Amino acid sequence: MRYGPMFGPDVTFLGVDRCDLGEPSSFADADVVILGAPFDGGTTNRPGTRFGPSAMRQACYLEHDGSRPSLALRTDGLRDLKVYDAGDVEMFSGDIERALGALEEAVATVAAAGAIPLVLGGDHSITLPDAKGVARHHGYGRVSMVHFDAHADTGEIEFGSLYGHGLPMRRLIESGAIRGDRFLQIGLRGYWPGPTVLDWMAEQRMRSYEMSEIVARGVDECLSEAFTTAVDECEGVFLSVDIDVVDPGMAPGTGTPEPGGLTARQLLDAVRRCCLELPIVGVDVVEVSPPYDHADITAYLGNRVVLEALSAVARRRSGEPWDPSQPLLDGR
Amino acid sequence: MRYGPMFGPDVTFLGVDRCDLGEPSSFADADVVILGAPFDGGTTNRPGTRFGPSAMRQACYLEHDGSRPSLALRTDGLRDLKVYDAGDVEMFSGDIERALGALEEAVATVAAAGAIPLVLGGDHSITLPDAKGVARHHGYGRVSMVHFDAHADTGEIEFGSLYGHGLPMRRLIESGAIRGDRFLQIGLRGYWPGPTVLDWMAEQRMRSYEMSEIVARGVDECLSEAFTTAVDECEGVFLSVDIDVVDPGMAPGTGTPEPGGLTARQLLDAVRRCCLELPIVGVDVVEVSPPYDHADITAYLGNRVVLEALSAVARRRSGEPWDPSQPLLDGR
Amino acid sequence: MRYGPMFGPDVTFLGVDRCDLGEPSSFADADVVILGAPFDGGTTNRPGTRFGPSAMRQACYLEHDGSRPSLALRTDGLRDLKVYDAGDVEMFSGDIERALGALEEAVATVAAAGAIPLVLGGDHSITLPDAKGVARHHGYGRVSMVHFDAHADTGEIEFGSLYGHGLPMRRLIESGAIRGDRFLQIGLRGYWPGPTVLDWMAEQRMRSYEMSEIVARGVDECLSEAFTTAVDECEGVFLSVDIDVVDPGMAPGTGTPEPGGLTARQLLDAVRRCCLELPIVGVDVVEVSPPYDHADITAYLGNRVVLEALSAVARRRSGEPWDPSQPLLDGR
Amino acid sequence: MRYGPMFGPDVTFLGVDRCDLGEPSSFADADVVILGAPFDGGTTNRPGTRFGPSAMRQACYLEHDGSRPSLALRTDGLRDLKVYDAGDVEMFSGDIERALGALEEAVATVAAAGAIPLVLGGDHSITLPDAKGVARHHGYGRVSMVHFDAHADTGEIEFGSLYGHGLPMRRLIESGAIRGDRFLQIGLRGYWPGPTVLDWMAEQRMRSYEMSEIVARGVDECLSEAFTTAVDECEGVFLSVDIDVVDPGMAPGTGTPEPGGLTARQLLDAVRRCCLELPIVGVDVVEVSPPYDHADITAYLGNRVVLEALSAVARRRSGEPWDPSQPLLDGR
Amino acid sequence: MRYGPMFGPDVTFLGVDRCDLGEPSSFADADVVILGAPFDGGTTNRPGTRFGPSAMRQACYLEHDGSRPSLALRTDGLRDLKVYDAGDVEMFSGDIERALGALEEAVATVAAAGAIPLVLGGDHSITLPDAKGVARHHGYGRVSMVHFDAHADTGEIEFGSLYGHGLPMRRLIESGAIRGDRFLQIGLRGYWPGPTVLDWMAEQRMRSYEMSEIVARGVDECLSEAFTTAVDECEGVFLSVDIDVVDPGMAPGTGTPEPGGLTARQLLDAVRRCCLELPIVGVDVVEVSPPYDHADITAYLGNRVVLEALSAVARRRSGEPWDPSQPLLDGR
Amino acid sequence: MRYGPMFGPDVTFLGVDRCDLGEPSSFADADVVILGAPFDGGTTNRPGTRFGPSAMRQACYLEHDGSRPSLALRTDGLRDLKVYDAGDVEMFSGDIERALGALEEAVATVAAAGAIPLVLGGDHSITLPDAKGVARHHGYGRVSMVHFDAHADTGEIEFGSLYGHGLPMRRLIESGAIRGDRFLQIGLRGYWPGPTVLDWMAEQRMRSYEMSEIVARGVDECLSEAFTTAVDECEGVFLSVDIDVVDPGMAPGTGTPEPGGLTARQLLDAVRRCCLELPIVGVDVVEVSPPYDHADITAYLGNRVVLEALSAVARRRSGEPWDPSQPLLDGR
């Protein structure tokens, strides 16, 4: 009954075990279930993210053996947690409403089973069903959002549609799934959206860290401040990572590149902190577009964002505190 | 009121005049109206054809001055005919039914004005509205189809949808717009579709020239035979050119490359013959996918297919016969 | 016990079933067993063929479902034959003797089971173990060779080694596995080897068709002549296809590109004839180098060479004659 | 009379209005006039900057509607200022003296009209006419130079010519247009020029910040120091941005890449400060070479440098102070 | 005194000996002297041919040992002839008149020494000095031209200049160096030039074979006819090969790609015939533009055009007739 | 007797003089001898480093004249030191033991002559012979190692071999050439090796700075600490730079990219400090893989790492202290 892959061969994320969403027993013990969302029907410019799940699952030079011990965190995100890959959700890029609906069901199924859904996008329109699916389990308004992105994705309508990769955050807040005042955006920059949308955002009491603020205050201070909000009256946090939060020089394989972003190093460190310090209940990594990539470096980065998140979740669950200054071989 | 471009700056095909489909007077004297169909929501594999219209409009190293005198045909397809570019039709890739509907209206508007619609794709799902829009004017069942392609595009359903780039020819025949026995396919090859679909095609009495037959008999003999059918009980012919009919070596920028195709030279000569010898009432050039192109060579080929068609239509209208062996400078 | 993939995820050729060379029962009913030879330690110039097996297994836009009905040949090479994929042979590129030895054992195991080994290269040094492994079963000197290539690959020594991708054909003849006068080479051209090696080749009574002869006489006449030799006193034919026999324009992803080759269409037709008309006992497809490829077009071509061979073997086994001029939908 | 584009279709920078330098009334109210300098005849290594103007005009995923509200600066550089695009200056790359002369006239025309000329290069040889054209209006020696670059561009002669992209700064100082002691260079590094030229630079009392100094002291401290000099006895500042000041990893599409540069983020912040804190009278952005770019990321960066400059000029003219730490949605 | 390379390291064509044009004794015994013309100041669109000489000198996977025995022609063009490489002529792309003048002197020096100058372009503007330099030795009007190209290159003026890559053939005929009625063009196609220029060409009694005629009559018949003209009242023939005569699919690395050209195989065969059957006195190979190339395939083709020409000149000088149908190993 | 290049033309590093390892007099006065190690037989994933030596020798836009005056350090590493290039060592990638053996001899020959061997890789397996060759001269255990890398390269066995690019550091320590407690690794990150290997490393008392520690403490503090260890009981330091220590965004052309690395600027500054502050006795720069590079930016970085090292060695030998804050033109 497992749908498997929409494109190409049926592989799992670095070789973790498969599960079948249609058979609850196949993932009953899951800590995390990976889902592919091979969809780019919501992009307003360059497509290609339909190949993001396949690319991120494979982008590693090591053996695909379902194990990745983190040097830094001293956990194995794929072994210390029970991680399954449920394959792709069938998402025809030509029918966004049907596609997003199918994804929401899949995510909700995972969340209902007590596991963290980790969705490999796909364009950013998928965060609407991702976060709604999670909120259906944890409670509308009970999940906050930490959102790394160059763009606010709070547009009202695009190409005549209420769905698309520039709009999901607005739809999410309107739906009540995520409270506007628990919506934390990191890395915004550039020339969109305009004043009307920004006014709407301010009305929702969103908190958006533009790059100027991040440069002036430091990313760590901004994160610490954001984390305080994230856990205020919310038990869970959804982490949505748009790869374009990183500078296009280090993440060229994306659809709407905006110069002046974080370094890859900064993103990895920030994701690590999120998953070490916050009660993550859902994750997505979106906007990796292989046709625009070079030597797979953006797919590699997406893969490492996933691993960083899982390693840190595992570390958090271990209960052991973590000191970034500890030498690698210390304590061995 | 003109919609203009869906992506990027508002340019016309090599600098021809603009028109506005909302203002009939702006194209009342048109022989040909170019439409962009920047859509890739119907692709089953690699996307990117949404940038096909923009790429084909611009792929020329000469001045973009709305004039292209053909060395071979001694006509200027952009000047001897009255050619307008109406810009793009808004086609959100995430909503294929709405997108195709909008395109059909645009094409029908052009056909109703007595002009040839020439549609720049876009994936091949657009041929459904292209040919239907034309047939609404010329009469259902009164227009035949000459279809260059590696693929039959006669599938029944894909990703749960009746619309997509593998299905348009079936929908067209089912609709009655084009008669199955006036459907002529040139260049098929490879491993799709399977027996069930082929049986359906045989039932419709389609005539499909697979590459083996083309190699064995010669492309010119195949075309001559096909042309006889094309004008039997049909006053008009729709010409649909999927760039993947050409070998991927010469047309890499496409979504579903199938090795073993025509050369670029063969395609240009074949398109020329179609437009010299047949009463063309509509044209589309589809499946040019810039993200997979190199040095724009596939976009150039698409551009030249358009020019070849227009030059030959102009030559046909001039009434002067054409001899391919005539030396270039003869008669000057 | 199955080794699986040397690089990346464990996928089979377009989804055919897996087998394990260590468990004879797993392929006892095989007509064909596919082996990956992910090796580029024998290349004298551009490496990268280690990724050839993985690339050729995946290069298809259709569903990876273990079925590919050929439009032209009306057989399904993956279903009408029983085809397994045994995964890769472990071949460390830094130790060519050990690597080639391991491959020879694997090939011999397949041949001994009565199946056709079909090896996905890898650089051309692998044809030494491929053909030796086959000859161990069918008898040294009892298997002839049809070899498509831009290069004769009959050098004496390179970089101080007797093994490498310029040398296998000499080693094969010296070993007695293949008789020199049953060695048929198609597509040679360029500036290598020099007179000394050519003299040696003449002494062996090899028959090498350089492109000038092929252009002058036609590829079909050359093939017909070669086929007569191939089955003279030999019961089986090994087919070795170096993708660089095709012009670099249509097969750029290779290590030693030599302009002026066959078209992709010509190669596919020639491979089809080999497998329709000759008793094939082994096949390899070599020198596909993904790092130098563009948009996977060379990997696609390699994939289609494999499918063409399998479709034609299936047709030959069906006993039904084949007429290239038969229209696609005729007889349905 | 407008020349329009040298290459390809006639588009303006992100859709701003056109003007015609031959018709003064068409830009009489301009704050800024954009000029294209599609020239690479002065490059000593990789060419391609002739396509810089076209690439930078188009490199944006948003609608090309002549509006870009800056998130950070809260101004719309294309709307709050009156910005025109005059198209390209005809600059035949094979005749540098004629080409530079034509550009100088165009720039002088703009400056004389009281507008800021903003020139899209083109190789760096264009800064000679750019700054001279500006100085003709504001007074020789009355304009200082802030120059971002990996290279000093103060060579004496190259390939037998006094003009070229390694020489303009020397010619400028020799001409008297810019005083040597008001010449501020940021980001130099690498292995050129040699001691003789450096001695000449020291004699001119230029102030050149090599990357070691920038790393040691911080880019902000260096800029603050440079700004003090820039406005000493000069009423206006010319800002010349060579994209190669950024590390090649983040700006690969350039002709003479020198590793170890600024990040894209640092450049954008520095350009912002220049235009917020200094009385800018002319700008050029040079050395974007599309043939060497990947996924347009260097063209995007060039586009954003232009927007950053315009947004900051608008902010400066508004008179409102700017605080980088202000949260994005604060004050709405 | 040897200038050496304009760009990069000082290498000779596949390792042949160096000579110094300033020291006549260094090439007194030359049959052929290779010159690099690293110039792209005359291109009207994509630049990059300045790197053509370097790319063509190096594009070979074999040892760079100054020897290349041709399989087909059984001569070693680099050994049977005495071939030197004089390095590059200094040609600043920003000063076309000076650059072309310097090249003409270099070519004339070689021709005066009784050797064949073989010039590696560079854009096609270099054929003006190439052929003039040769005609100065052999006599104005005594040398005919065989010119492979997609374009006639007979324009009157471009970008305000009489020099450029679209104009050289007109300047040559105007100068009297080459008679118009001994000007033979093979492979023209596309949409340039327009009627006025074509009329001028007809007046000169040029003979231009457009691709339609070549397809209709066959390239061999066209060549045979052209060869008759070429040697009528002319003792020598200049062979100018613009790589864009080949289809862009097989030669993407060029500045003005025009679909529908010859195959690489056809060009190599045609060049072979020219040099076997005609008294060649000068050669150039132009318009190879590495920045637009992929995997060096166009540079490889340019390299092979040079080797094909040299191998055939050597064969012609040997006096032995050549039969393309002779098997490779026959007669050994 | 000089072997010269394994691939392509025989060029030296930016034009420095050649020497011949077989003729001691040819490098008797050398300070530094450059060796090419064109080997990728030890790579576990993407090959291509066999072209690293050639690429790094040529990657510079300046004249290849054997001189590179450093702006920052005010020395000319190629002139102030006596630097020769001995060409490549013949290293057949298919025979790693023989290849590494040959390299060790070559390195030892250089070291024995009192010069610093500077080896251009090649994959990282070459550091085993590089450091052993040096230690044979300076004494086993008398040379410490400063090792920049994303990976520890201390694996036990790979693909059944004791040699390979993931293993050299273990072999070095086991051999006694380098003491484990004088092994300093900078930049490690990611998911390899696992606990067993890390335990072994700890037992050897290696000191490995993972990126988390580097971010937390600052690269300069880490380096200062490491330097103290490096010179404790060791007279010489071997500097091994794996280009993948830099983030893949800035160094995509490598075989095993690991996101989250140093910036190019950080690496250059760190290499500078090593060579200014430590008694360097050998250097290698490895893992530059041109097939995966874009616009040569990784090759450029490798070239600049070499120049930075040489410039700093020269500065150290000059005895003059260096202040990074000194303005470029100060003191002239």
Residue F305: pLDDT over 90: yes
Distance between alpha carbon F13 and the CA centroid of its chain, in Å? 15
pLDDT, tens digit, 9 for 90 and up, residues C64-117 = 999 999 999 999 999 999 999 999 999 999 999 999 999 999 999 999 999 999
Domain count of the fold of chain F: 1
CATH number at residue B203: 3.40.800.10
Contacts of residue F288, Cβ cutoff 8 Å, sequence gap at least 6: F49, F52, F55, F56, F121, F243, F253, F254, F298, F299, F301, F302
How far B242 CA sits from the closest chain A CA (Å)?
20
pLDDT at residue E2 in the model: 81
Chains E and A touch (3+ CB pairs under 8 A): no
Q: Given D198, D253, D261, which is nearest F329 (Cβ)? A: D198
- pLDDT level of residue E1 (50, 70, 90 thresholds): low
Determine the residue among C10, C17, C60, C300 to mutate to test chain A binding: the one whose Cβ has the most chain A Cβ atoms within 10 Å: C10
| Inter-chain CB proximity A249 and D269 less than 8 Å | no
Chain D positions in Cβ-Cβ contact with residue E51 (cut-off 8 Å): 46
Does residue E313 form part of some domain? yes
Determine the residue among D10, D57, D296, D300 to mutate to test chain B binding: the one whose Cβ has the most chain B Cβ atoms within 10 Å: D10
In 3D, which of D235, D154, D223 has the Cα closest to residue D195?
Answer: D154
pLDDT at residue E35 in the model: 98
What residue spans of F286-330 are helical by DSSP H? 297-318
Chains that touch A (3 or more CB pairs under 8 A): B, C, D, F
Which chain C residue shows the shortest CA-CA distance from E331?
A: C202
Q: Given C247, C307, C324, which is nearest B212 (Cβ)? A: C324
Does residue D204 form part of some domain? yes
Chain B positions in Cβ-Cβ contact with residue E206 (cut-off 8 Å): 329
- pLDDT level of residue A133 (50, 70, 90 thresholds): very high
Q: Given D6, D47, D164, which is nearest E47 (Cβ)? A: D47
pLDDT, tens digit, 9 for 90 and up, residues E85-127 = 999 999 999 999 999 999 999 999 999 999 999 999 999 999 9
Which tokens hold the place of F272? 């500078």
Does residue E327 form part of some domain? no
Count chain C–chain E contacts defined by CB atoms under 8 A: 112
> What gap in Å lies between CA B57 and CA F9, rounded to an integer?
42
pLDDT, tens digit, 9 for 90 and up, residues A223-242 = 999 999 999 999 999 999 99
Does residue E6 form part of some domain? no
How far F311 CA sits from the closest chain C CA (Å)?
33
In 3D, which of F28, F253, F231 has the Cα closest to residue F121?
Answer: F253
| Inter-chain CB proximity B68 and E189 less than 8 Å | no
Q: Given D10, D12, D58, which is nearest B8 (Cβ)? A: D58
Percentage above 70 pLDDT, chain C: 100
pLDDT, tens digit, 9 for 90 and up, residues A252-283 = 999 999 999 999 999 999 999 999 999 999 99
Does residue B213 form part of some domain? yes
Which chain D residue shows the shortest CA-CA distance from F263?
A: D260
pLDDT at residue F1 in the model: 66
pLDDT, tens digit, 9 for 90 and up, residues F98-148 = 999 999 999 999 999 999 999 999 999 999 999 999 999 999 999 999 999
How far D54 CA sits from the closest chain E CA (Å)?
12
How far A6 CA sits from the closest chain B CA (Å)?
9
In 3D, which of C305, C242, C320 has the Cα closest to residue C274?
Answer: C305
Dihedral through CA E154, CA E157, CA E162, CA E164, nearest 10? -60
Residue E249: pLDDT over 90: yes
Does residue C3 form part of some domain? no
Chain B positions in Cβ-Cβ contact with residue A95 (cut-off 8 Å): 41, 94-97, 160-161
How close are the terminal C-alpha atoms of chain B, in Å? 45
How far D67 CA sits from the closest chain E CA (Å)?
30
| Inter-chain CB proximity B248 and C300 less than 8 Å | yes
Which chain D residue shows the shortest CA-CA distance from B7?
A: D63
pLDDT, tens digit, 9 for 90 and up, residues A136-182 = 999 999 999 999 999 999 999 999 999 999 999 999 999 999 999 99
On whether the CB atoms of residues A53 and A292 are closer than 8 A, the answer is: no
For B196-234, letters b (16+ CB in 10 Å) and e give: ebbebbbebebbbbbbbbbbeeebeebbeebbebbeeeb
Q: Given A189, A212, A259, which is nearest D324 (Cβ)? A: A212
> What gap in Å lies between CA B304 and CA E187, rounded to an integer?
16
> What gap in Å lies between CA B264 and CA B251, rounded to an integer?
8
Residue range C165-189: average pLDDT? 97
Q: Given F62, F300, F326, which is nearest D259 (Cβ)? A: F300
How far A173 CA sits from the closest chain B CA (Å)?
22
Count chain D–chain E contacts defined by CB atoms under 8 A: 83
> What gap in Å lies between CA A319 and CA D111, rounded to an integer?
66
Chain C positions in Cβ-Cβ contact with residue E300 (cut-off 8 Å): 248, 257-259
Residue C275: pLDDT over 90: yes
> What gap in Å lies between CA D212 and CA D190, rounded to an integer?
11
Does residue B286 form part of some domain? yes
**ipTM for this model:** 0.97
Helices B127-138 and B96-112: crossing angle, nearest 10°?
30
| Inter-chain CB proximity C215 and E329 less than 8 Å | no
Q: Residues of C marked as binding for Mn(2+)?
A: 124, 149, 151, 153, 242, 244
Determine the residue among B44, B89, B95, B128 to mutate to test chain A binding: the one whose Cβ has the most chain A Cβ atoms within 10 Å: B95
Q: Residues of A marked as binding for Mn(2+)?
A: 124, 149, 151, 153, 242, 244
CA atoms E136, E140, E146, E148: torsion sign: positive
pLDDT, tens digit, 9 for 90 and up, residues F82-92 = 999 999 999 99
- pLDDT level of residue A1 (50, 70, 90 thresholds): low
Chains that touch B (3 or more CB pairs under 8 A): A, C, D, E
Q: Write out the DSSP string of E20-50.
A: -TT-GGGGTT-SEEEEEE---TT-SS---GG
pTM: 0.98
> What gap in Å lies between CA F332 and CA F324, rounded to an integer?
16
Q: Given B72, B252, B268, which is nearest E259 (Cβ)? A: B268
> What gap in Å lies between CA E258 and CA E149, rounded to an integer?
10
Percentage above 70 pLDDT, chain E: 100
| Inter-chain CB proximity E294 and C207 less than 8 Å | no
Helix (H) or strand (E) holding D83: strand D83-88
Q: Write out the DSSP string of C218-234.
A: -HHHHHHHHHHHHTSS-
Residue range E10-18: average pLDDT? 97
Count chain C–chain F contacts defined by CB atoms under 8 A: 83
Instruction: Write down the mean pLDDT value for chain C.
Output: 97
Contacts of residue E179, Cβ cutoff 8 Å, sequence gap at least 6: E141, E144, E173, E234
Give me the domain span that covers residue A173.
Answer: 13-318
Determine the residue among C7, C39, C40 to mutate to test chain F binding: the one whose Cβ has the most chain F Cβ atoms within 10 Å: C40
| Inter-chain CB proximity B15 and D9 less than 8 Å | yes
| Inter-chain CB proximity C216 and E296 less than 8 Å | no
Which chain E residue shows the shortest CA-CA distance from C295?
A: E294
> What gap in Å lies between CA F26 and CA F4, rounded to an integer?
14
* Main-chain dihedrals φ then ψ at residue F150, nearest 5 degrees: -80, -15
In 3D, which of C288, C212, C284 has the Cα closest to residue C248?
Answer: C288
- pLDDT level of residue A109 (50, 70, 90 thresholds): very high
Which chain B residue shows the shortest CA-CA distance from E221?
A: B325
pLDDT at residue B4 in the model: 83
Does residue F326 form part of some domain? no
| Inter-chain CB proximity A69 and F209 less than 8 Å | no
> What gap in Å lies between CA A328 and CA F204, rounded to an integer?
13
Query: Mean pLDDT by 10-residue block, N- to C-terminus, for chain B (332 residues)?
Result: 86 97 97 98 97 98 97 98 98 97 98 98 98 98 98 95 95 98 98 97 98 98 98 96 98 98 98 98 98 98 98 97 96 89
Count chain B–chain C contacts defined by CB atoms under 8 A: 113
Residue A52: pLDDT over 90: yes
Chain E contact residues (CB < 8 Å to F):
5, 8-12, 15, 57-58, 64
Which chain C residue shows the shortest CA-CA distance from F52?
A: C46
Residue C1: pLDDT over 70: no
**Residue recorded with tokens 């009278």:** D281
Query: Mean pLDDT by 10-residue block, N- to C-terminus, for chain D (332 residues)?
Result: 86 97 97 98 97 98 97 98 98 98 98 98 98 98 98 95 96 98 98 98 98 98 98 96 98 98 98 98 98 98 98 97 96 90
Which chain E residue shows the shortest CA-CA distance from D8?
A: E45
| Inter-chain CB proximity C252 and E295 less than 8 Å | yes
